[in-house]
Amino acid sequence: MLKDDILKLKKEKNAVILGHCYQNIEIDEVADFVGDSLYLSQMAAKTNADVIIFAGVYFMAQTAKIISPKKRVFLPNMNSGCLMSDMINLEQLREFKSQNKNIPVVCYVNSTAEVKSECDICCTSSNAVKIVNSLNTSEVLFCPDTYLGKWVESQLDNVKVKTYPGFCPTHLRIKPEDIVAAKEKYDNAKVLTHPECHKEVCKLSDFVGSTSQIMQYAKENNDKKYIIATEKGVVDRLKRDCPDKEFFLIKDNIVCPNMKQNTLEDIYNVLKNETNEIFVDENISKKALNCINRMLEVCK
């Protein structure tokens, strides 16, 4: 059985498998840790494994390699990229900074190692407010997600967040009218939304948070019905973990095609053949590590 073969290889090679909660749910059966970007970044930093298999997208595997440069890091499927991270490169970041000089730059984890290497501090959707607040400044630059940046601004008093015009195509499929329609269809259901969504969607929601925060809210809250305004993988896991509650995906097409690229077969193949290894230029890695470590220090 494929699952058993993966578990056997994982033990033989002293490997750890990290799985993002937007992945195909069957990957949870072989993963050592499943969660959002912050949690998986922390687990990558702590692991004693020699090999990290990152079932996620490319920037996540890059981040794991930056944090653990002496470990071998593999991405199950090299087609698993991130459209948001592709929206900004080093040249575009430098132009953004040149137009807004002497302002600290907060970099969403959904970005390449090169972009991280020229930002002051990294963040994830679960800690973005805390990270921006920790800078004790009246103005910050935020890249690449303009919607997360503006949501952070809405949560803080007296902090101006200037955002780069990047976005998540999956989350932007969710429109305010979708929330209104879902509330009418599913009476008394709480709306739980990711901050990468449009600000008007967030305003109509009962709770806004990262994937892990959404899952925690749904598990701990006493309400029985929830409309989930984020990627389908969250709904799949909530239905599995909370069979006594009802969960409704806001729209059928809220699926990240890149996140779904990785399969159990891909994980088996990279474990067996040691293909798709992730490498990061040493100088870029050191600079990017400073950006990531500042985040981990704030959130430890």
CATH code of the domain covering residue 102: 3.40.50.10800
Shared domain for 236 and 267, answered yes or no, is no
Contact 228, 208 (CB under 8 A): no
Shared domain for 102 and 158, answered yes or no, is yes
Q: So what's the pLDDT on residue 49?
A: 93
215: nearest Cα among 20, 18, 21, 39: 21
Q: Which domain-ending residue is among 134, 163, 192?
A: 163
Shared domain for 203 and 234, answered yes or no, is yes
Contact 248, 225 (CB under 8 A): yes
Shared domain for 7 and 42, answered yes or no, is yes
Q: So what's the pLDDT on residue 194?
A: 98
Q: What mean pLDDT, rounded, does the chain reach?
A: 96
Q: What are 108-157's pLDDT values in tens digits?
A: 999 999 999 999 999 999 999 999 999 999 999 999 999 999 999 999 99
Domain membership flag for residue 288:
no
Contact 47, 70 (CB under 8 A): no
Q: So what's the pLDDT on residue 159?
A: 97
Q: What are 163-219's pLDDT values in tens digits?
A: 999 999 999 999 999 999 999 999 999 999 999 999 999 999 999 999 999 999 999
Contact 16, 40 (CB under 8 A): no
- Tell the residue number behind the tokens 């509330």, with chain if given: 183
Shared domain for 145 and 182, answered yes or no, is no
Domain membership flag for residue 53:
yes
Domain membership flag for residue 12:
yes
Kindly tell me if the per-residue pLDDT of 86 is higher than 80: yes
Q: CA 286 to CA 280: how far, in whole Å?
A: 10
Write out the two tokens for 54.
Answer: 């990152």
Q: Which domain-ending residue is among 109, 142, 163?
A: 163
Shared domain for 93 and 156, answered yes or no, is yes
Kindly tell me if the per-residue pLDDT of 38 is higher than 80: no
Instruction: Tell how far CA 260 is from the center of its chain.
Output: 14
**pLDDT > 70: what percent of the chain?**
100
Please give the model's pTM, rounded to 2 decimal places: 0.93
Q: Helices 37-46 and 58-67 meet at what angle, rounded to 10?
A: 30
Shared domain for 56 and 120, answered yes or no, is no
Helices within 156-220 (DSSP H only): 176-185, 199-203, 211-220
102: left (phi over 0), alpha (psi -120 to 50) or beta: left
* Number of structural domains the chain divides into: 3
Contact 153, 160 (CB under 8 A): yes
Domain membership flag for residue 298:
no
Kindly tell me if the per-residue pLDDT of 299 is higher than 80: yes
Write out the two tokens for 168.
Answer: 């998540």
Shared domain for 49 and 103, answered yes or no, is no
Please tell me the least confidently modeled range out of 24-33, 35-44, 137-146.
Answer: 35-44
Q: So what's the pLDDT on residue 133?
A: 96
Q: So what's the pLDDT on residue 130?
A: 96
Residue numbers of the domain that contains 240 = 171-249
Q: Which domain-ending residue is among 122, 139, 163?
A: 163
- Give the H or E element holding residue 3: helix 2-12
Shared domain for 229 and 264, answered yes or no, is no
Contact 30, 10 (CB under 8 A): yes
Residues 6+ positions from 268 with CB-CB distance below 8 Å? 2, 5, 6, 9
Shared domain for 107 and 147, answered yes or no, is yes
Domain membership flag for residue 98:
yes
Shared domain for 65 and 118, answered yes or no, is no
Domain membership flag for residue 24:
yes
Shared domain for 178 and 240, answered yes or no, is yes
